[in-house]
Amino acid sequence: GRETRLRVVLRVRPLTRTETRRGDQRVVHSLSDSTVHRSATSSLGARHDATFGFSAVFDASASQEAVFEGSGMRQLVELAVDGFSCTVFAFGQTGSGKTYTLMGPLSQTEAQPAAPALLGLMQRSFSYLLEQSQSHSSDLALSASYLEIYNEQVRDLLSPGPPCALPLRWSKSRGFYVENQLCVDFESLEAIANLLLQVPLTAGSQRRRTSAHALNRHSSRSHALLTIHIRSQAGREKGCQSIPTHTQTWVPQPGACPSKQGTLCFVDLAGSERVKETGSSGELSVEANNINRSLLALGHCISLLAKPRGKRTHIPYRDSKLTRLLARSLGGSGITLMVACISPSSRCLSETLSTLHYASRACRVTTRP
């Protein structure tokens, strides 16, 4: 029940080949392993400098492994096994490296997996989780659900067939939850990795809404939430009702043993860029407005949550689906890691600055795990 701050780390990706070719300047430099410096010269010749501090800063040379080890992700997995609700969310403009940080390069498929060194926080967490599950004295039962929020609709990425919107409800005991969400058990690394990749045919990351636009062809226009449910079934002996091994919708079973039930949720947020910069129009602009609206709601909640507890007013989680689903991670009993991703390029300066400010505010948010 102790107040715990959100852990916020920053990742600055390398300049891409396109950015280098077109001669973009690097305007973000890490000064130490926890501060980053941004410098820029305005059109009038005035210099603007700013330094920001975070729990950790990873620069262009940081490996995927360094990010896993240095971000506190390993501890987050351990806490989830211990029964806490843990969330990691990647935030930043399209093309800033959110998906790369979470999942590795986009080119990987089931047939052509990414090189082990390039695997992201998700796969590293899964393998650590399975390691824990094998070495743990008690049995861990692992299951996963995968949702996206697209145009303010919550959709199940694991259910076969065309995506349909699921209702988002609230109850006193469960807080906000998605009704009829599919939850599948898994026991191996391949099974869970395939859940993410296999899926051009059935579900998952390939089915997430993507559309080509000026900033990044793979730009994701939806928020994706992968949740791993971890049940440790310690003391399953006498008089205890067994927990079904394959539940479609996962609900704590009444009468089951007092077991630990933790979650580990990975959130890949849609790009934070402004509509005008992406040149979106028509249907795309409706999407972009929905994305901006939910990110704005998230930013608003974060600003209010960043105030000291005594001075907090009502937190408007109900303003968007995203904030409802993240309510527990942000303001309640969760433990949260935020990975802010930025590009070092001079062309992305205004978005980079907005991500840095957003992330700085998030540093002040506290929860009571």
66 binds ligand ADP (CB under 6 A): no
Out of 20, 105, 115, 214, name the contact with ligand ADP by CB under 6 A: 105
Q: Look up tokens 């990873």; give the residue.
A: 58
Closest Cα to residue 107, out of 206, 201, 15, 20? 206
Q: At what angle do helices 321-331 and 283-305 cross, to 10 degrees?
A: 20
Q: Which does 13 bind (CB under 5 to 8 A by kind): ligand ADP, Mg ion, none?
A: ligand ADP
Q: Which does 105 bind (CB under 5 to 8 A by kind): Mg ion, ligand ADP, none?
A: ligand ADP
Q: Is 96 annotated as a binding residue?
A: yes
99 binds ligand ADP (CB under 6 A): yes
Strand partners, 176: 170
92 binds ligand ADP (CB under 6 A): yes
**Cα 162 to Cα 182: distance, rounded to the nearest angstrom:** 14
Q: Is 249 annotated as a binding residue?
A: no
Q: Hey, what are 220's tokens?
A: 């994701």
Residue pair 321/152 in contact (Cβ under 8 Å)? The answer is yes
Shortest Cβ 205–ligand ADP spacing (Å): 11
Q: Which does 205 bind (CB under 5 to 8 A by kind): ligand ADP, Mg ion, none?
A: none
Q: Hey, what are 344's tokens?
A: 């070092």
* Residue among 221 and 328 whose Cβ is closer to Mg ion: 221
Out of 158, 295, 301, 341, name the contact with ligand ADP by CB under 6 A: 341
Q: Hey, what are 132's tokens?
A: 């824990």
**Cα 364 to Cα 369: distance, rounded to the nearest angstrom:** 16
Categorise residue 107: left if φ over 0, alpha if ψ from -120 to 50, beta otherwise. alpha
13 binds ligand ADP (CB under 6 A): yes
* Residue among 120 and 334 whose Cβ is closer to Mg ion: 120
Closest Cα to residue 267, out of 102, 130, 104? 102
The closest residue (CB) to ligand ADP is 97
Residue pair 245/66 in contact (Cβ under 8 Å)? The answer is no
Shortest Cβ 9–ligand ADP spacing (Å): 13
Out of 95, 204, 262, 334, name the contact with ligand ADP by CB under 6 A: 95
Q: Hey, what are 308's tokens?
A: 């000291």
262 binds ligand ADP (CB under 6 A): no
Out of 91, 100, 150, 317, name the contact with ligand ADP by CB under 6 A: 100
Burial 123-143 (b: 16+ CB within 10 A, else e): bbbbbbbbebbeeeeeebbbb
Out of 4, 16, 151, 360, name the contact with ligand ADP by CB under 6 A: 16
Interface with ligand ADP (CB under 6 A)? 13-14, 16, 92, 94-100, 105-106, 216, 218-219, 271, 341
Residues flagged as binding site for ATP: 92-99
Interface with Mg ion (CB under 5 A)? 98-99, 220
